[in-house]
Amino acid sequence: MPTLETRTNAKIESTNRLLREIDIPIDTNGNPMKVSEYYGENVFNFATSTDIPENVRKEILNVASSGSKISKEHADIVANAVTKWATDKGATHFCHWFQPLTGGTAEKHDAFLTIKNGQAIERLSVSQLLQGEPDASSFPNGGSRSTFEARGYTSWDLTSPMFLTEAPNGKTLCIPTAFVSYTGEALDIKTPLLRSVSKVSNEVTRFLNLVGKKDVSKVDVTIGCEQEYFLIDKDFYYARPDLVMTGRTLLGCSSSKNQQLDDHYFGRIPDRVMGFMQELDLELHKLGIPSKTRHNEVAPGQYEIAPVFSAANVSADQNQIIMAVIKSVAAKHDFVAILHEKPFAGINGSGKHVNWSMSDNSGHNLLEPGENPHENLLFLSTVAIVTESVFRHAKALRMGIASAANDHRLGANEAPPSIISVFLGHTLEGIFENIYSGKKLSAKDGDTFLETGAQQLAHLLLDNTDRNRTSPFAFTGNKFEFRAVGSTAAIGFPVSILNAAIAEVYKESADFVESEIKAGASIDDALLKITTKWVKNAYSVIFNGDGYSSDWVDEAEKRGLPNLRTSAEALKVLTDEKESAFLVETGVFKRSELELRYEVLAERYNTLREIEFSTLISMVNQTVIPAAINYKTELSQIIQRQKSFNLECSVETEIYKKLNFALESLYANTNNLSATVDGLEGDTEGISDKIANDLFPQSEVVASFCAEVENLVPNTLWPLPKYSEMLFLR
Ligand code: ADP
Ligand code: MG
């Protein structure tokens, strides 16, 4: 446990760090290279590799876009080419890199070194490229309730590029893979995501073909993630057992200044942080990750990075890499990057805005409004279909972002609430209002149809700058932004769920449009009808007001929108056959995979909370209570001395009493919490409910008494770094 000395040293160290300078890549003339000159140097590129013949390159591109399988013969050529490329660059090992259900990534390294006829050579065999067998028993697999064999294998995903990671003393080739059990169940995040993406492609393509877009043969889901994080000096971090054990502060008084002045957001980036961001961008660019924006976020010590969007699967992998690189580069600058959704009470938490759209094979963004009435009808139907999907599957979407950490953001009056609603902005809302209230609409008459002006829709939307930051799911000009996703989330999971919902509604929409057209309707009329159908049905999910206000909670309840406040509640969607039916019917998940996910995610929720409780209890007993007792001892000595001189000591006595009361309450509540934790028993679901409904609120009471004690104990007797130091000193 930290001592006063640790805290004092952290203050000195954090403010005296030398700025880290790095070697910027230079060309042969000694001039700094442009980003475009080193961009992607650590990813293996099929398109530019000279060791891959043209016919193989073609097959790979075809396989990547059609989802078919590469021949073993051609895979062998790739294996050789990538081995040469990686070992030329100094790689000694390769690994199958995958996303298990824990949310992070996993890798098991093998050396390229092979002994052949007594000779040492570098080699990656075709079977090593195509398939691996990590010991699956240690990965979360849902425990005994799952009926299938939990052992599994990894298999190469050639749609996501292979890349090199650099550690201080060598490089490793990472091969993105899926992770599947021997009985075919997805044990990872990627597999359902890939299924969902191809399902969206099929359903949306069919719809577009029906409404006259005959040349569309494929639709991609595009994703761009804005990643938020905190940076604090490493010495503060290591002096806070709660940050080390749980990723968030379990107790702490807010500093007098936090984010009230709004002076941090988009403010000047401090040099030490800038140095970090520059190195981060350098590393990401070398990895072919198009990092684009960097800025301060709302809370002190909080920052954001966003790359340019790409295909969902690539973006999901890249976001994992971004999180890992943020952490490793931060460490080089003596920072610790905190990705937790709610590291500090009382100031904003961190989210990940997942920008979502679809683009057809000619690169046209389906959420881009067009210049003519027909294009706009198609655009409006797209928005209506997305709105219906979110309305219909709001519970499942809430489930997809559920985690112990994200519960602190959702509905905490400073983040989107756990009620899933859709923000459309002024223009679209006006149009949908007209449609909803049954204004006489005709597809032929663009002007009366859109009183707001069909032709100018594109311009109107561009001007639509009243971005509502409080909405969990917002239309922002030419994409939707799923803002309720947590900062540590593996985006593949919520995106799979969103995609499944979209695919389901697209299928129904295509069926509907097809029968309308068969019955003689024009394409435009059919589009207008399907738009009207969904707008009328899903109208209650559209909300443009302040999502942080308590009025909205009441209003949403009146509208009948679900509000799953805790993860314990939200995760039950996975085992609710009715709510999760679409996930199975669209083929994105198997029923057994949903059951397994319930076990893994609920178990994880329970374990994380239990770690928080035990960390909190030990911090109270070992740090907070002793600090309070030390102060009581000081006070009582003074009081006694004063009394021996027959002097007044009302102030000291008053403080003593207050402290005594806070300490007694703290002690009693901590004992209560401890006893309830010890008495926890039941199945996963029962324990989750108890944690969410009883234990977690109890722990919040303990935290509030800790804050009271911290407020009373003098600075010189308080061993834990304070919010004001962690957030402001660097
Ligand atoms: P803001 O903070 O205003 O929302 P940013 O520029 O920080 O904007 O982030 C917007 C994100 O949305 C970027 O990652 C960007 O590439 C992504 N994006 C833009 N267009 C699309 C699209 N069509 N599909 C998916 N993501 C997109
Ligand atoms: Mg955004």
pLDDT tens track for 327-354: 999 999 999 999 999 999 988 899 999 9
Q: How far is the CA of 319 from the centre of ligand 1 (A)?
A: 14
- The CA R_g of the chain, rounded to the nearest whole Å, is 28
Residue 137's pLDDT is: 57
| Residue of 228, 309, 483 with the most ligand 1 atoms within 8 Å of its CB, for mutation | 309
Residue 453 has pLDDT above 60, yes or no: no
Ligand showing the shortest atom-to-Cα distance for residue 479: 1
Residue 112 to residue 170: CA distance in whole angstroms: 13
Q: How far is the CA of 207 from the centre of ligand 2 (A)?
A: 29
For 552, the token pair is 């909205």
pLDDT in the model for residue 447: 41
Amino acid sitting at position 651: V
**Nearest atom in ligand 1 to 367's CA:** 23
Q: Is 656:635 a contact under the CB 8 Å cutoff?
A: yes
CATH superfamily for domain 39-183: Glutamine synthetase, N-terminal domain (3.10.20.70)
What are the tens digits of pLDDT across the range 177-211?
Answer: 999 998 889 999 999 999 999 999 999 999 999 99
* Predicted local confidence at residue 210, as pLDDT: 98
Q: Which residues contact 635 (CB under 8 A, 6 or more apart)?
A: 652, 655, 656, 659
CB 334 within 8 A of CB 17: yes
Tell me the per-residue pLDDT of 630-651, one tens digit each, with 9 for 90 and over. 999 999 999 999 989 988 888 9
| Pairwise CA distance, residues 326 & 411, whole Å | 27
pLDDT at 675: 96
**How does pLDDT run across 650-659, given as a tens digit for each residue?**
899 999 999 9
| 598 CA from centroid of ligand 2 (Å) | 30
Three-class SS state of 718: coil
Going by alpha carbons, the residue nearest to atom 2 of ligand 1 is: 226
Q: What kind and span of H or E run contains 407?
A: helix 404-409
Name the CA dihedral angle for 381, 385, 386, 390, rounded to a multiple of 10 degrees. 150
pLDDT in tens, 62-99: 887 777 788 899 999 999 999 999 999 999 999 999 99
| For ligand 1, atom 25: residue with the closest CA | 223
Residue 634 CB-half CA count within 13 A: 13
Q: Where are the beta strands (DSSP E) in 384-496?
A: 473-475, 480-482
- From first CA to last CA, the distance across the chain in angstroms is 23
User: In degrees, to the nearest 5, what angle opens at C-alpha 103 toward C-alphas 694 and 235?
Assistant: 80
Give the tens place of pLDDT for each residue, 484-517.
999 999 999 999 999 999 999 999 999 999 999 9
Q: In terms of pLDDT, which residue wins out, 506 or 435?
A: 506
195-604 classified as CATH 3.20.20.70: no
168: its two tokens: 């201080």
Q: Residue 701 — very low, low, confident or very high, per pLDDT cuts 50/70/90?
A: very high
SS3 content of the chain, % helix, strand, coil (to 5): 50, 15, 35
- Residues ≥6 apart with Cβ < 8 Å to 644: none
Query: What pLDDT, on the 0 to 100 scale, is given for residue 611?
Result: 97
Among the bound ligands, the one closest to the CA of 315: 1
Atom of ligand 1 nearest to the CA of 307: 14
Q: For residue 698, how far is its CA from the centre of ligand 2 (angstroms)? A: 35
| Residue whose structure tokens are 């509030």 | 704
- Residue 577 pLDDT: 97
CA-to-CA distance for 517 and 531, rounded, in angstroms?
15
For 183, which DSSP code?
Answer: T
- pLDDT value at 384 more than 50: yes
pLDDT at 648: 85
Please, how many CA atoms are within 13 Å of residue 527, restricted to the half-sphere of its CB? Answer: 25
- Spatial contact of 84 and 305, defined as CB atoms under 8 Å apart: no
Average pLDDT over the chain reads: 90
Q: From CA 412, how far away is CA 387, in angstroms rounded?
A: 25
> 355, 360, 468, 478: which to mutate for ligand 1, most atoms within 8 A of CB?
355
Under CATH, which architecture does the 605-728 domain have? Answer: Up-down Bundle (1.20)
Distance 525 CA to ligand 2 centre (A): 34
DSSP secondary structure letters along 279-340: HHHHHHHHTT--EEEEEE-SSTTEEEEEEPPEEHHHHHHHHHHHHHHHHHHHHHTTEEEE--
The predicted pLDDT at position 466 comes to 52
For residue 458, give every residue at least 6 positions away whose Cβ sits within 8 Å of its Cβ, in sequence order, or none: 368, 369, 370, 371
Mean pLDDT on 241-260 = 86
Distance between Cα 461 and ligand 1 center (Å): 15
Name the band, by pLDDT with cuts 50, 70 and 90, for residue 296: confident
Query: Of 506, 479, 548, 453, which Cα lies nearest the Cα of 211?
Result: 506
Average pLDDT over residues 660-675: 97
Q: Is the pLDDT of residue 689 over 70?
A: yes
Nearest to 495 by CA among 314, 655, 640, 325: 314
Q: Where are the domains of the chain?
A: 39-183, 195-604, 605-728
SS3 of 590, please?
coil
pLDDT, position 451: 44
Vertex 328 angle, CA 604 and 257, to 5°: 80
Closest ligand 1 atom to Cα of 223: 25
- CA separation (Å) from 326 to 168, 273, 316, 320, 321? 16, 12, 16, 10, 8
Q: Which residue has the higher pLDDT, 278 or 410?
A: 278
Three-state SS string over 226-257 comes to EEEEEEEEHHHHHCCHHHHHHCCCCCCCCCCC
- As beta bridge partners, residue 353 has 226
Selection from 226, 474, 466, 248 nearest residue 349 by Cα: 248
**Common-topology check for domains 195-604 and 605-728:** no
Burial class (CB within 10 angstroms; exposed 0-12, middle 13-18, buried 19+) of 456:
middle
Question: Which atom from ligand 1 is nearest to the alpha carbon of 295?
Answer: 7
